[in-house]
């Protein structure tokens, strides 16, 4: 039971590289830039929150990541979570779906339904969302490489169910640039990948104006080794790349910016995280107003999901992750997030069981029902420490964004692998610090259990039979559908991709004809090619 060595008054530098003082006063606030960027909630620059009443009006959406096996299995889990009070869905797809392979593709063998649900055609979406009220429960699709296809599928499914797509809310992750940095479900090379994101933004701006086609993810960049300040700064650089593409197409910023959202990570120092979000909100508003000329407040809002990240959880003493998750949820609430999700305590081992997913949900519900987190907006505002650190985090983010610009921009850095190499080197440095004990981690390098205990984690079972069921279902659909209509739709998709026309209308038609994810991806690959990963150390 060794406590980490903590010499008195040692200089403390947070992960973002900012010194943390033992005491903050009004003078520190003034020296860091004062209260100029604080303002009121619901008012520019929105540092204190994008809405005036925040959680008084509506608590954050609770959106645990879920999905496994075939669509019927996942539909059951969705209904279980909703029955337990979950207010949104966050859909996990298996790896073949995420990278555009059908379940009968030889490369999909052994991976079907393993880390998410398997989707081949519109029929699968019909089953997955059967009986779920898509007006009451908003759905977030965690899909990137194949996002344009799955967005088309979601819109088509909703339309078929009788929803007005113009009123339909929901989100797709659809942030391909971060997939090249971390998470790795890319398909096409960098340039056509950005073009596809642009196609979804452009299409949704007209056809599904309440749908959020992109959720830019600092989350996975942080998991890959970025600091909290880099996480936000890189995400903003990426969002600007998508915004620039949309503007090049002739859209005005106020036509699409209100439908961009963010996905950020939570682990580490509580105050650094809270200040990261407050700083990020002010900075994004400033960027949209000053650099892009946004006029609508909604275009300046940093809307986000702030999720308790797997990167902070440990393999050792997994039950302690329940407590970590509770702190992460607290940070998320103090940060004024719109949506919350938590990695469950068992996620270093397995995808969550019903039990652990419910526990994560209860953790959030505790904050709403018992802890008073929804009563007052931005409760940490006015603290000398929090306001100073918010100013300093914002400055740090601006510095990092300027460095990216100086190095040729985020798209170039991602394509060349320089961002990947940078965050990976940092991840290695952090792992060394954890192994040496320099960076304390409870249960890992301090307060280790004297004796190895059997971990109390129950594994989510993988049903080998799900793959066979899924492949049989795909074969049946291929036999029953109008294959002439499919072939016509796929030909049009290929032509539109080659002619640099927006592919979304062709994708929606192909999806409605029950073309499969793999078939549509193949057409796009034939035009765009495949990404070749730069390996840089």
Partner 1 sequence: MTDRQKPIKVLLGKPGLDGHDQGAKVVARAMMDAGFEVIYTGLRQTPEQIARIALEEDVDVISLSSMAGSHIPFCRKLKPLLEANGLTDKLWVIGGNLPAQDHDALRELGFKGIFPSGSKLDAITEYIRSEVK
Tokens coding 453: 């205990």
Q: Which is nearer to partner 1, 144 or 390 (CB)?
A: 144
Q: Which is nearer to partner 1, 24 or 462 (CB)?
A: 462
What CA–CA distance (Å, rounded) separates 213 from 195? Answer: 13
How far lies 444's CA from each of 1, 176, 243, 342, 412, in Å?
11, 33, 42, 21, 38
Write down the least CB distance from residue 188 to partner 1, Å: 14
Write down the least CB distance from residue 430 to partner 1, Å: 9
- 96 near partner 1, rule: CB under 8 A: yes
Q: Which is nearer to partner 1, 431 or 491 (CB)?
A: 431
Beta strand 170-172 with 211-212 is: parallel
Q: Which is nearer to partner 1, 406 or 535 (CB)?
A: 535
Yes or no: say if 98 and 143 are a contact pair by the CB < 8 Å rule. Answer: yes
- 535 near partner 1, rule: CB under 8 A: yes
Answer for which of 48, 77, 114, 494 binds partner 1 (CB under 8 A) is 114
What CA–CA distance (Å, rounded) separates 142 from 68? Answer: 13
Q: Which is nearer to partner 1, 92 or 373 (CB)?
A: 92
Of 166-174, 221-229, 235-243, 469-477, the window that binds partner 1 (rule: CB under 8 A) is 221-229
- 291 near partner 1, rule: CB under 8 A: no
Q: Which is nearer to partner 1, 211 or 267 (CB)?
A: 267
Classify each residue of 32-67 as buried b or exposed e, where b means 16 or more C-beta atoms within 10 Å of its C-beta: bbeeebbbebbebbbbbbbbeebbeeebbbbbbbbb
- Residues composing the chain: 537
Q: Tell me the per-residue interface mask from 464 to 503 with partner 1, x by CB under 8 A, - otherwise.
A: ----------------------------------------
Q: What is the DSSP string of 403-431?
A: HHHHTT-HHHHHHHTHHHHHHHHHHHHHH
What CA–CA distance (Å, rounded) separates 179 from 98? Answer: 11
- 353 near partner 1, rule: CB under 8 A: no
Max intra-chain CA distance, the chain:
76
Tokens coding 305: 């999901």
- 320 near partner 1, rule: CB under 8 A: no
Answer for which of 316, 392, 466, 509 binds partner 1 (CB under 8 A) is 316
Of 58-66, 277-285, 319-327, 420-428, the window that binds partner 1 (rule: CB under 8 A) is 420-428
Q: Tell me the per-residue interface mask from 373 to 412 with partner 1, x by CB under 8 A, - otherwise.
A: ----------------------------------------
Tokens coding 3: 């406590």
Q: Which helix (DSSP H) or strand (DSSP E) does residue 288 occupy?
A: none
Answer for which of 179, 255, 466, 523 binds partner 1 (CB under 8 A) is 179
Write down the least CB distance from residue 443 to partner 1, Å: 10
- 240 near partner 1, rule: CB under 8 A: no
Tokens coding 253: 């910023």
What is the SS3 assignment for 327?
helix
What is the SS3 assignment for 80?
helix
Of 151-159, 220-228, 291-299, 382-390, the window that binds partner 1 (rule: CB under 8 A) is 220-228
Write down the least CB distance from residue 276 to partner 1, Å: 20
Tokens coding 326: 């509770």
- 349 near partner 1, rule: CB under 8 A: yes
Q: Which is nearer to partner 1, 109 or 295 (CB)?
A: 109
Q: Which is nearer to partner 1, 32 or 193 (CB)?
A: 193
Q: What is the DSSP string of 455-519?
A: --PPPPPP-THHHHHHHHHHHHHHHHS-HHHHHHHHHHHHHHHHTT--SHHHHHHHHHTT--HHH
Write down the least CB distance from residue 191 to partner 1, Å: 19
Would you tell me which residues interact with partner 1 (CB under 8 A)?
95-96, 98-99, 101, 107-111, 114-115, 179, 182-185, 223-225, 314-316, 348-350, 424-425, 427-428, 431-432, 435, 444, 459, 462, 533, 535, 537
């Amino acid at each position: 039971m060794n406590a980490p060595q903590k010499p008195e008054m040692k200089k403390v530098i947070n992960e973002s590289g900012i010194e943390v003082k033992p005491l903050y006063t009004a003078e520190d606030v003034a020296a860091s830039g004062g209260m100029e960027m604080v303002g009121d909630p619901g008012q520019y620059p929105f540092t204190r929150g994008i809405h005036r009443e925040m959680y008084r009006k509506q608590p954050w959406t609770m959106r645990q990541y879920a999905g496994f096996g075939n669509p019927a299995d996942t539909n059951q889990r969705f209904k279980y979570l909703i029955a337990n009070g979950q207010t949104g869905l966050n859909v996990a797809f298996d790896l073949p779906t995420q990278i555009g392979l059908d379940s009968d593709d030889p490369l999909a063998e052994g991976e079907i339904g393993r880390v998410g649900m398997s989707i081949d055609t519109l029929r699968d979406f019909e089953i997955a969302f059967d009986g779920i009220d898509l007006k009451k429960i908003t759905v977030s699709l965690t899909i990137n490489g194949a996002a344009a296809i799955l967005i088309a599928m979601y819109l088509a499914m909703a339309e078929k169910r009788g929803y007005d797509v113009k009123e339909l809310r929901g989100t797709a992750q659809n942030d391909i640039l971060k997939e090249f940095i971390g998470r790795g479900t890319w398909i096409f090379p960098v340039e056509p990948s950005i073009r596809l994101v642009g196609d979804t933004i452009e299409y949704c701006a007209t056809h599904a104006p309440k749908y959020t086609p992109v959720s830019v993810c600092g989350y996975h960049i942080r998991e890959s080794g970025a600091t909290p300040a880099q996480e936000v700064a890189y995400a903003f650089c990426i969002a600007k790349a998508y915004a620039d593409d949309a503007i090049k197409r002739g859209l005005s910023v106020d036509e699409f910016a209100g439908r961009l959202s963010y996905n950020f990570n939570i682990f580490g120092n509580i105050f650094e995280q809270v200040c990261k979000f407050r700083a990020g909100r002010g900075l994004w508003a400033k960027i949209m107003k000053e650099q892009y000329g946004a006029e609508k407040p909604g275009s300046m809002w940093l809307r986000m999901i702030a999720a308790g990240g797997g990167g902070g959880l440990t393999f050792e003493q997994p039950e302690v992750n329940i407590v970590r998750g509770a702190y992460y949820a607290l940070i998320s609430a103090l940060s004024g997030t719109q949506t919350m999700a938590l990695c469950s305590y068992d996620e270093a081992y397995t995808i969550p069981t019903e039990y652990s997913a419910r526990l994560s949900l209860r953790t959030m519900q505790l904050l709403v029902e018992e802890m008073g987190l929804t009563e007052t907006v931005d409760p940490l505002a006015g603290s000398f420490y929090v306001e100073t650190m918010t100013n300093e985090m914002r400055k740090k983010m601006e510095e990092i964004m300027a460095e990216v610009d100086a190095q040729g921009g985020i798209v170039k850095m991602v394509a060349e692998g320089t961002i990947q190499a940078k965050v990976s080197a940092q991840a290695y440095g952090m792992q060394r610090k954890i192994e040496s004990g320099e960076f304390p981690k409870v249960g890992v390098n301090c307060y280790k259990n004297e004796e190895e205990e059997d971990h109390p984690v129950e594994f989510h079972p993988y049903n080998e039979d799900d793959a066979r069921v899924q492949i049989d279902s795909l074969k049946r659909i291929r036999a029953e559908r109008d294959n002439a209509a499919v072939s016509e739709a796929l030909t049009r998709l290929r032509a539109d991709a080659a002619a640099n026309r927006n592919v979304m209308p062709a994708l929606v038609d192909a999806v409605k004809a029950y073309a499969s994810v793999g078939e549509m991806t193949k057409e796009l690959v034939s035009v765009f090619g495949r990404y070749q990963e730069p390996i840089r150390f």
